[in-house]
Structure 1
Amino acid sequence: MKDIQQRFLREVVLSLVIIVSFFGGCQHDEDGDSEDGELSGRLVIFHAGSLAVPFQDLADEFKLLHPKVKVFIEMAGSRECARKVSDLGKSCDVIALADSKVIANLLMPKYADWYIEFANNEMVLVYSREKMGELTVENVVGKLLQTESMYRADPDLDPCGYRTLMVWQLMERYYKHPGLYKKLWKICPPSQTRPKETDILALFEISQVDCFFIYRSVAQQHHLNYLKLPDDVNLSQPDLKDTYVHAQVEVSGKQPGKTIVRIGEPIVYGLTVPKIAEEANLGREFVRFVLSENGKAIMKKNGQGTLARVFPKGYKDAKELLSQR
């Protein structure tokens, strides 16, 4: 036990050293500084729908710390956020997404050199007790096959969309129910999708939707009734990654008409400062804040899991980028 504790301690210390070195060489750029040395300017953040509540709180706290900074937030599905940058050429200073691989697949290397995995989550099933009764892990399959109105996020725009399809595939395997995926697809076809998972909340609140799969953090933030799914299904556990790979979903790729295959894996969020950021220094300062103890506390308060160990991806490029003045 002592060896395990010492090893964990070393990993935590290593994470802190990496974060410090990752950001430590960065001095304030001319952009983002006022004459008195305080941060100032216009900070633009694109973020995933599931980050709406914690990132609003993070932005509010950041503005209290830096009163001369104006923060502007745009929310969309993670893949849609990325395509605002890659396809539409829109500029932002921070982009935070519900799947770190979206940055790797759609933004790197042209629009981003690096990204940081900073948070986690799990898939749950939100449902109406009035319409579906009480759901349990044992009766959920039968109840889903009887539902009249199930919606899901668009897998080409939002990771929650393809993660929903992955959950269906994993449920088929877990419950040993051949054909379950196809049956659920018929119940919830593409015509019953919305651009992002949070768009379905409004339909659920007016009783137009019986159930939908969404992140636990969002369900908790909105005080929704939900069923916790088995770990073999909910995409939350790093030690079950060999189970999750049995789920695969094809989604649109970088180029029009091209597709890529997303393979099931534990849910990990990522963020970066894009190359086209107009206020890159402000973006880096906000990333520092998100990774700080204060930032993590805000995330946890909103039911959003954070990672104990944080490692930048594309670290060498990031170090060089953050050293620019």
Structure 2
Amino acid sequence: MRGDDDRSTASRRAVVAAIGGLGLGAGCLGSDDRVQILSAGSLAVVLEDHVGPAFEEETGIAYEGEYHGANAVMRMVEDGSKHPDVVISADVELLRDRLYPDHADWDVEFAANEVGIAYTPETEPGARLEDGDPWYDVLEDADEGELAISDPDLDPLGYRAVHLFELAEREYGLDGFRDAMVERAYHEPNEPQLLSGIEAGNRACAVAYRNMAVDHDVPFLELPDAYNFGTPEYADRYAEASYTTDEGYETKGSPTVYNATVRRDADRAEVGQQFLSFLLENRTLLEEQGLRRGESLPRAHGELPEGIEP
């Protein structure tokens, strides 16, 4: 039986998705005793519904989160339109390429994810995925708009979908598969809303992260390690795929790892460091939401401030 807590969580998720599209902060608490987070959209639910409230309860510091595709996050920091304390990316190299050295000189990798296909079994493509048909055949047969991907020019999940299509084209001899999938898929510009079409019955499937399927309680088709961008041993294979964004940023396939930093000119740098310490110490908050924290994580890059222990 779904009680008031479930309805409250669902309502909060809807608010997160809506404000993500509007580019507004989730907290708006109006207190100096707060931490402001600008994060990759795939972590919207885990941060807003789980990590943020737990941090507030333990520290008494208000949590304010804003969520967009990681490319958009970096651009907001670069152009000065946003001034977060903590920046979180879904692609470690993206953060380092875009924010070092002007806005940061260290970061910490804290969680990993994997790419798969979220779907609804009530549709023909979803039913075929449920029955075990090859995923690439199902996507190739899907009608225009039945498949959703995040916008590859705005965030890593989008360009990882393109990388996935490229690897599949090469492996299975699917001539033109990559370009056909990119053209046929609906490009969701607001990453936190990627699965809303599946929940509403408007989309059949979407290339998504595992934790997003957990967040929204929708079926998730796991892909082989060679294609899921979740296995470090396949890093060289992932790197065979590439995509260049409309800003001219060339991406290479890579394992899905999240990293975070405190912005060099943050108004509340000490509070930002306190939040990162909390994030690193409370691994179960991430693992329970479908993220990975293997033996190699967390991992430091650069010289971390005193008090942040990976």
* Secondary structure of 2:194 counterpart: helix
Q: CA 1:234–1:228 in structure 2 vs 1: closer, same or farther (change >3 Å)?
A: same
1:175 is aligned to: 172
1:271 is aligned to: 260
* C-alpha contact 1:46 1:95 (8 A) present in aligned 2: yes
* C-alpha contact 1:119 1:306 (8 A) present in aligned 2: yes
Work out whether 1:311 is the aligned partner of 2:299: yes
Letter in 2 for 1:313: H
* C-alpha contact 1:103 1:112 (8 A) present in aligned 2: no
Runs ≥4 residues deviating over 6 A:
none
**Alignment partner for residue 280 of structure 2, among 278, 291, 294?**
291
Give the drift of 1:275: 1.1
**Alignment partner for residue 243 of structure 1, among 237, 243, 246?**
237
Give the drift of 1:263: 0.8
Q: CA 1:282–1:134 in structure 2 vs 1: closer, same or farther (change >3 Å)?
A: same
Cα distance in 1 for partners of 2:158, 2:287 equals 24
Long gaps (5+) in structure 1:
1-39, 254-258
Query: Identity rate of aligned residues, in percent?
Result: 30
* Secondary structure of 1:271 counterpart: strand
Q: What is the aligned-residue RMSD (CA, Å)?
A: 1.9
Cα distance in 2 for partners of 1:138, 1:176 equals 17
* Secondary structure of 1:287 counterpart: helix
Query: Deviation string for 1:199-239 (max 9, x for gaps)?
Result: 22222222221211000111122111121111111111111
* Secondary structure of 1:43 counterpart: strand
2:4 is aligned to: none
* Secondary structure of 1:231 counterpart: coil
1:6 is aligned to: none
* C-alpha contact 1:49 1:75 (8 A) present in aligned 2: yes
Cα distance in 1 for partners of 2:172, 2:133 equals 9
1:222 is aligned to: 216
Letter in 1 for 2:74: A
Query: Deviation string for 1:268-298 (max 9, x for gaps)?
Result: 1110001121000000011111111xx1011
* C-alpha contact 1:161 1:196 (8 A) present in aligned 2: no
Long gaps (5+) in structure 2:
1-31
**Alignment partner for residue 50 of structure 1, among 15, 21, 42?**
42
1:155 is aligned to: 152
2:195 is aligned to: 201
1:23 is aligned to: none
Work out whether 1:213 is the aligned partner of 2:211: no
Query: Deviation string for 1:146-204 (max 9, x for gaps)?
Result: 2122221112211101001001111112323232112212322xxx2122332222222
Give the drift of 1:137: 5.8
* Secondary structure of 2:53 counterpart: helix
* Secondary structure of 2:195 counterpart: helix
**Alignment partner for residue 302 of structure 1, among 268, 286, 289?**
289
* Secondary structure of 1:130 counterpart: coil
* C-alpha contact 2:103 2:265 (8 A) present in aligned 1: yes
